[in-house]
Homo-oligomer: A and B are copies of this chain.
Amino acid sequence: MTSMPKPFIDKHLPKNKLGLTVRNYEGSMSTLCAGCGHDSVTAALVQAFWELSLAPESAAKVSGIGCSSKTTAYFMGQSHGINCVHGRMPSVATGANAVNGDLHYIGISGDGDSLSIGFGQFAHAIRRNLNMLYILENNGVYGLTKGQFSAAADIGSTTKKGVPNEQTPIDPCIQALTLGAGFVARAFSGDKSQLVPLVKAALMHKGFALIDVISPCVTFNDHAGSTKSYAHTYKYYHPLVHTDFVAHAEEITGEYADDGAMRVTLHDGGELRLRKTDTDYDPRDKAQAIETLMMNGGDGEIRTGLLYLNEDMPDMHAANKLPQKPLNQLPYEALNPGKAALASLQKRYR
């Protein structure tokens, strides 16, 4: 349970382009409940990072407080991590990102962390189009404080004892769409085949990328009355768009190619191939995306996949005209105007 595991040696594991095995991307032992959805998300992150061959130290992990927020300790022990205060991860990510945009920022949050105490920060990070992967591990409850409903609990979903929730849920994907996010996805911790490529795509997207992952809480919200249980999610699981991330693809932008997949080149490299399951769904159409998600209440289907993509919005760095070289690496000489400038400046105060 140290945050710095020793280098692993395992000859039989495959290596990525950096010569690293998946072990190099693992963290300390999870202390979550056996079967917790969050551990699957952790595994997907490890997998995606390894597959992308990103140097472990190129990641910066940020989180708030909650079972979900703890997980940043359980992957990529060779990356820096900061586990701040409840609901305020986005602000820490904003400051960190502003001064070094070269790292891959991975924010992990929970539905309590993001939609209650942290809703304002969540919204404003989106508005700023902060370049980060934001994973919301959504289980409909506050796991760490023992099972209270979160703002993501569906109307009618019950507690273990059968008490139903009566408040309108907040759908993080709808909110992200209306607040201007350029990458909005929903996934399920139980389907790694969908989640891993989404994580890769989100990491490569230049801007705010939300993945709302239904991640069941086996201890407090996995019973029959819950709409965030494994059983319920499997039953109503409805992938809308399947995403593949292909590194270093040729320059083919937009529009559907003959194989039926829509190809999108990302600014940070690589290509996305989006294969629709519902033929009339267009992940470029925000209004349709919102309407589709609002329907959920109607038929109960949980629509997943990359629901919306707009890779052409300036991120926070661009909007602030930040330099190529990260601010935290600028030499002091580039920052300090010096003695002479001070003297001349002060004339205006005579």
A residues whose Cβ falls under 8 Å from a Cβ of B:
116-120, 123-124, 127-129, 151, 166-168, 170-171, 174-175, 178-180, 286-287, 290-291, 294, 314, 319
By beta carbon, the residue of chain B nearest A171 is B178
- A319's partner among B120, B166, B171, B286 (CB-CB below 8 A) is B166
Q: Is the CB of B127 within 8 A of A170?
A: yes
Residue of B nearest to A321 (CB): B166
Q: A175-B175, A175-B178 are in contact. List 7 more A-B contacts (CB 8 A).
A: A117-B120, A127-B151, A166-B314, A166-B319, A168-B179, A287-B291, A290-B290
Question: What's the Cα separation between A180 and B314 when bound, in Å?
Answer: 30
- Please report the C-alpha to C-alpha distance between residue A179 and residue B314 in the assembled complex, in whole angstroms: 27
Q: Across the interface, do B166 and A170 meet the contact criterion of CB distance under 8 Å?
A: no
Contact between chains at A167 and B116 (CB < 8 Å) = no
Taken together as a complex, chains A and B put the C-alpha atoms of A171 and B294 apart, in Å, by 18
Q: Which residues of chain B have C-beta atoms less than 8 A from A179's C-beta?
A: 168, 170
Q: Which residues of B contact A286 (CB under 8 A)?
A: 294
Roughly how many angstroms separate A286 CA and B175 CA in the complex, as a whole number? 15
CA distance A119 to B314 in the complex (A): 24
Q: Which residues of B contact A290 (CB under 8 A)?
A: 178, 287, 290-291
Whether A123 lies near B170 (C-beta < 8 A) is yes
Residue of B nearest to A320 (CB): B166
Chain B residues lying within 8 Å of A127, measured Cβ to Cβ, are 151, 167-168, 170
Q: How far is the CA of A314 from the CA of B166 in the complex (A)?
A: 9
Chain B residue contacts of A151, Cβ below 8 A: 124, 127
The residue on B at minimum CB distance from A288 is B291
Which B residues touch A166, using CB under 8 A? Answer: 314, 319
A297 nearest CB across to chain B (Å): 10
Residues of chain B contacted by A291 (CB below 8 angstroms): 287, 290-291
Q: Which 6 residue pairs of A and B lie closest in terms of their CB atoms, listed nearest first?
A: A168-B180, A119-B120, A120-B120, A287-B291, A166-B319, A174-B178
